[in-house]
Amino acid sequence: MDTDKLNEKLKALQAQRQELRVELEETLKNREVPLEDRWELFEEHGESILETTGWIEHFKTLDQASKGSSFDYCDEFYVERRQELTYVFIIERLEDRLDNKFYENDTCLTEEQINELKEEMLQTGHCGFVNDW
């Protein structure tokens, strides 16, 4: 294969990927689309299209649920510094805690709070962050 042709194809792919990222981000932020549909789209395609941020995200819903202090991802999820945390991972861990007595000493959210958190996460335009405290 000619390298010039391959280079052209790769440039076209990058341009298409950028267009898809913008379209996905706009759709995920569109509150007129039901949250359930947007979250499903995010779970399926978020990590492959969107980027992670290099700083820790602080979400109002998590901070409020952690009883007045900032939510601590290390303590809550036993993650290491510089470990990437995806929003899907965070939601899955919090959903595991629903109605589970094992987690009664940890921060637990209601289904309504989890949905509020999902909305906050979708509004960031990222799929997660690097735990760099």
Q: State residue 74's pLDDT score.
A: 79
Q: State residue 102's pLDDT score.
A: 63
Q: State residue 105's pLDDT score.
A: 60
Q: Print the SS3 string covering 12-75.
A: HHHHHHHHHHHHHHHHHHCCCCCHHHHHHHHHHHHHHHCCEECCCCCCHHHHHHCCCCCCCHHH
Low-confidence ranges of the chain (pLDDT < 70): 1, 68, 101-106, 133
Q: State residue 128's pLDDT score.
A: 94
List the chain domain ranges: 3-131
